[in-house]
Amino acid sequence: MDLRQRRLRTALMLGTAFLAGIAVAPATGMLGHALAQKAGNAQMYQLLKEFGDVVERVRADYVQAPNDRELIENGINGMLTGLDAHSSYMNAKAYKDMQIQTKGEFGGLGIEVTQDNGFIKVVSPIDDTPAFRAGIKPGDIITALDGKTVQGLSLNDAVEKMRGPPNAKIVLTIKRQGVDKPLEVPLIRETIHIQVIKSRMEADNIGYIRLSQFTEQADSGLRDAIKSLRAKSDGKLKGLILDLRNNPGGLLDQAVNVSSDFIDQGEIVSTRARHPEDSNRWNAKGDDLLRSLPLVVLINGGSASASEIVAGALQDHRRAILLGTRSFGKGSVQTVIPLPGNGAMRLTTARYYTPSGRSIQGLGIEPEVTVAETREDPGSFGGDREADLNRTITNQGGTAPDKVEPRTDLPPIVSEIPRKPPEGFPKFDPLKPSETDFQLQQGLVLAKAMVAQKSASAH
C-alpha cells in the first residue's frame, strides 16, 4: 500500500491525500521564476526568524515557564486554524482518537462540532448518544463546559474536554436560537458505539435505512440492511428511503462506495486541488443494489461533507429524489497528514464537485422537494451552515446551480406535498418516528407515488 492509500484510510471528514507533483517549467521564464522563488524564500526565512524570536521571548519572559511542546503545538494549530474553518493540528492523543472514531467507537458525548467565532458550534448529535437523548440540536452554540468558557480553547482542546471516561458528568452551557436564556445541559459520558446503520420496513413494502455517519462500517452495513429488507418483504421490496439527515460525513471511500451501491456507472465525485496534477475523480464501481427501485433521500442542514457527496451524486444521476431542507454546504477536502511525534495536521487541499460539476462549498444541496421539520422557523444563532463560518474557502470553478438541467421526472404529487407540518402536528418522538417525523411521512408519500409512476410506465 503506497503513501496515498495509507493516508486515504486515515482521513476523516472527506479526507483524501495527494502526492506532491513536480511541474516542469518551460525553458523561457525559468530565470524569472527562480528569482521570484529566491525572493519569496528570503521573505519566508525572515518571517521564520521573527517567529523564532517570539518563541524565545515567550520562553524567557512569560510570567511562568511555558511548556515547550505546548508552545509549539499552539503555534502550529494557530497557523492552520487561521487558514480556514476545517484545517487544524492534532496532537498524538487527538490523532489517535480520530482514528478510533473512524472505526465507530470512542468515549464521550456523541456530538459532532466545529469552531466558529471563538465558540463551539454543533453540526449534529449522533443517534442514540447522550447528546442526542438530551436534545442537543444542530446549530446550538456551546459557550461553556462545566461553567468555564470555551473562548480561548482550540477546537481540539474543547473536544478533549468533552471526552472522558464513562459515567463522568459534564455540563454544557448552550445558546439556542429562539431561547432567551442560556441552557444548562447536564450529560453523562458514555462509551460511544456508533451504530451507523438502522433499518426497518414501512408500510407498502417501502424500506427505510438511516445512515448516521460514514465510518468504516457504512458501506457493508448498508449492503446488509438492503439484504435484510428484501428478506423481510419476501423479495417484494418496492422502494427505499435513505435518511442522511444530521449525518456530518466521514470517510471519502465510504461515500464513494455507498453512492456506487445505487449507481451503475459514471462519475461519483471529483476533486480539484491547487495543482492540476493532484486533482482526482472517482467513478461508480458496482451494481445498483436496488435494481432501479424508487429511492428517496432525506437531507437537512446537518447533512454535511460525505453526506453531500452521496446526495449530490444521486441527484445528478437522477437516481433519487431529495426531500427535506438545504444541506450544510461543506464542499472542501481535508488531507490528514501524519507528523513526526505521532501527531497529524488536517489540511484543506481541494474542493470537491458533484458529477454535473457543481461545487456545493458554501451553497449546500437544495432538495427537489422542500419540507421543513417543524412549523416554526428555526432561524439561527450566528448562522448554522458552512457559509456562516469564519474563514471559509470560496466557491469557485464549478457549474452554476442554475445551469443544471431541471428535472422532468418528478411525480405530479410533488406539487401537493406541504412544505411544513400542519397546525397541531405532534412533537418528534424517536420512539414513534412514523407518527411524529413529518419529513419521513412526506418521504413515504413521495416514495409510494414513485412506485406507482414506475408501475404505470412499465405497462
pLDDT tens digits, 403-451 = 778 889 999 999 999 999 999 999 888 778 889 999 999 999 999 999 9
Q: What is the CATH number of the domain that holds 164?
A: 2.30.42.10
Residue 10's contacts (CB-CB under 8 Å, 6 or more residues apart) are 98, 99, 102, 336, 338, 344
Report whether pLDDT(24) > 80: no
The answer to whether residues 355 and 316 touch, using CB atoms and an 8 Å cutoff, is yes
Same structural domain for residues 177 and 230? Answer: no
276-332 per-position pLDDT tens digit: 999 999 999 878 999 999 999 999 999 999 999 999 999 999 999 999 999 999 999
Buried b (16+ CB within 10 A) or exposed e, 22-53: eeeeeeeeeeeeeeeeeeeeeeeeeeeeeeee
Give yes or no: residues 185 and 206 share one domain.
no
Do residue 169 and residue 271 come from a single domain?
A: no
Residues forming the active site = 305, 316, 330
Question: Do 201 and 185 lie in a common domain?
Answer: no
User: What's the pLDDT tens digit per position in 293-304?
Assistant: 999 999 999 999
pLDDT cut 70: percent of the chain above it: 88
For the cut 60, the answer to whether the pLDDT of residue 18 exceeds it is no
Secondary structure of residue 253 in the 3-state scheme: helix
By the 8 A CB rule, do 90 and 76 touch? no
Quick check: 230 pLDDT over 70?
yes
Domain final residue, candidates 176, 193, 210:
193
- 8 Å CB contact between 273 and 279: yes
Domain of 407, CATH number, reads 3.90.226.10
More reliable by pLDDT, 152 or 170: 170
User: Which amino acid is present at 272?
Assistant: R
On whether both 297 and 329 belong to a single domain, the answer is yes
Within this chain, do residues 303 and 441 fall inside the same structural domain, yes or no?
A: yes
Residues 229 and 183 in one domain: no
Look at 38-47, 76-85, 87-96, 252-261 and tell me which has the smallest mean pLDDT.
38-47
Are residue 349 and residue 242 in the same domain, yes or no?
A: yes
Asked whether residue 74 is assigned to any structural domain, the reply reads no
Q: Are residues 186 and 240 in the same domain?
A: no
- pLDDT of residue 28 exceeding 60, the answer is no
Residue 64 in domain? no
| Confidence category of residue 103, pLDDT binned at 50, 70, 90 | low
Identify the domain containing residue 165 by its residue range. Answer: 107-193
What's the pLDDT at 33?
A: 52
- Residue-level pLDDT at 116: 74
Do 393 and 349 share a domain, yes or no?
A: yes
Q: Is residue 326 part of a domain?
A: yes
Task: State the total domains in the chain.
Answer: 2
Same domain, 228 and 166: no
Q: Classify residue 338 as exposed, middle or buried by CB count within 10 Å of its CB (0-12, 13-18, 19+).
A: middle
Highest mean pLDDT among 103-107, 212-216, 363-367: 363-367
Q: What is the pLDDT of residue 104?
A: 62
Can you give the pTM of this predicted structure?
A: 0.76
What 3-state DSSP class applies to 351? strand
